[in-house]
């Protein structure tokens, strides 16, 4: 995070979080309540706003009954906007101005975009502090990019020139701070500015968000990217820590890279020692770990692997195998974590309370609401997922 500007004039008054959620989105119909990583899109930013505890009130401005219902279920108040500001041509500024006309108690508005599902409460808390303690009139979100810009060529034969670099001395990324771009995640402004027709003005500052949290969903192509990033970088809420008592992991493609080495007498498997460290860390925290395989792995090979946990081979139905173990241990799906990589793992990935997939998992496995590891199977993916599970257990989702 970085902010420009200084000031010692405090600012009090009613600060409202306002999420604009029109029902007539043309790019993605009812985009604001389409489910992303297990919950409606708008729920991600509403949870961040409410859990921040930084706002006097949290509102959703909408013209749609379904969106209103979801907003109320998330704990937000609802402002039913008029038809005049619900057209395709209506601007955010006009909609916020109408909201202020109906809510004279509001002194400052934090306009938060519903399409920024990786927004975190700590970002909002720091921005509110900039407004409250440092006296800024407006604060908006930016992200840093390392992109070289060139002047547009508008006619054939026209020359171009660089706009932010010297081609003879191209800087390395690590030697260049890059440039700041608005990412549209939020715009905070005082009533006075908004009434004057401005979302940015007066004493201004930016708030720099982390690139991994700077996600915006505008068109359909943005959705699969968000599905991969939100489970990894999104804010899952405060409260009681996640309880994981059992981790079941597919050997083939998670512990290993999916390959089998054979000769006339033996079958060989290889795995990363880093994954054993991850398994041991879970065992130390009281999590039972079981590795399963659909293949009929021999007892001699299982013994040779020298794994610190139980191995069950020749599993023909993974769901039944999990339910059998859960029943013996007296556990529920919510207390079970599952890591899989193939189509046969999809059902268990959808049912488990916490789930993960390696970077090279099948498309069907990746399309579940699973934690997407950056490492491939056999190369540390289990350790990465184990660290994710431990962080959920220690800090809460």
Active site members: 170
What distances in angstroms separate CA 106 from CA 98, 159, 171, 191, 204, one per listed residue? 12, 52, 47, 7, 20
Question: Edge-to-edge strands of the sheet including 106-112?
Answer: 77-80, 57-62, 14-20, 106-112, 179-190, 138-145, 204-208
Q: Could you tell me which of 341, 359, 243, 224 has the C-alpha nearest to residue 292?
A: 341
CB 100 within 8 Å of CB 81: no
Q: Could you tell me which of 207, 213, 219, 217 has the C-alpha nearest to residue 234?
A: 213
Q: Which residues lie closer than 8 Å to 375 by C-beta, 6 or more apart?
A: 358, 359, 381, 383, 384
**In the chain, count of helices (H) and strands (E)?**
12, 17
Angstrom distance (rounded) from CA 291 to CA 274: 16
Cite the beta strand spans of the chain per DSSP E: 14-20, 35-36, 39-40, 57-62, 77-80, 106-112, 138-145, 179-190, 204-208, 246-250, 261-262, 267-268, 288-292, 310-312, 336-339, 354-357, 371-372
Query: Both tokens of residue 90?
Result: 């209506």
DSSP for residue 290: E
Angstrom distance (rounded) from CA 224 to CA 214: 15
Centre a 10 Å sphere on the Cβ of residue 242 and count the other Cβ atoms it contains. 20
- The C-alpha R_g of the chain, in whole angstroms, comes to 25
């Amino acid at each position: 995070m970085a902010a420009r500007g200084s000031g010692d004039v405090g600012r009090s008054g009613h600060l409202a979080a306002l999420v604009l959620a029109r029902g007539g989105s043309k790019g993605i119909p009812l985009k604001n309540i389409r489910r992303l990583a297990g919950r409606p899109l708008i729920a991600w930013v509403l949870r961040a706003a409410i859990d921040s505890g930084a706002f006097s009130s949290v509102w959703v401005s909408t013209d749609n009954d379904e969106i209103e219902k979801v907003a109320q279920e998330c704990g937000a108040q609802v402002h039913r906007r008029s038809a005049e500001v619900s057209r395709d041509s209506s601007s955010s500024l006009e909609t916020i101005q109408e909201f202020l006309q109906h809510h004279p108690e509001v002194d400052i508005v934090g306009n938060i975009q519903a399409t920024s599902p990786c927004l975190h409460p700590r970002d909002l808390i720091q921005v509110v502090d900039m407004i409250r303690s440092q006296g800024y009139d407006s604060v908006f979100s930016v992200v840093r990019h390392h992109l070289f810009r060139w002047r547009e060529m508008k006619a054939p034969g026209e020359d171009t020139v660089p706009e932010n670099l010297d081609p003879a001395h191209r800087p390395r990324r690590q030697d260049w701070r890059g440039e700041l771009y608005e990412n549209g995640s939020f715009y905070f402004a005082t009533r006075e500015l908004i009434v004057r027709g401005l979302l940015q003005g007066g004493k201004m500052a930016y708030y720099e968000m982390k690139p991994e949290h700077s996600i915006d969903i505008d068109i359909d192509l943005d959705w699969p990217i968000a599905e991969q990033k939100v489970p990894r970088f999104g804010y899952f809420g405060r409260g009681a820590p996640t309880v994981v008592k059992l981790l079941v992991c597919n050997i083939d493609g998670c512990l290993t890279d999916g390959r089998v080495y054979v000769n006339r007498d033996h079958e060989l498997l290889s795995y990363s020692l880093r994954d054993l460290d991850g398994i041991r860390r879970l065992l130390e925290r009281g999590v039972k770990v079981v590795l399963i395989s659909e293949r009929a792995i021999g007892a001699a090979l299982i013994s040779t692997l020298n794994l610190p946990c139980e191995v069950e081979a020749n599993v023909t139905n993974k769901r039944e195998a999990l339910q059998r173990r859960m029943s013996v241990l007296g556990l529920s799906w919510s207390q079970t974590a599952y890591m899989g990589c193939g189509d046969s793992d999809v059902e268990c990935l959808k049912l488990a309370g916490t789930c993960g997939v390696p970077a090279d998992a099948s498309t069907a496995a990746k399309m579940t609401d699973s934690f997407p590891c950056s490492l491939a199977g056999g190369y540390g993916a289990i350790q990465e997922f184990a660290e994710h599970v431990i962080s959920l257990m220690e800090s809460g989702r």
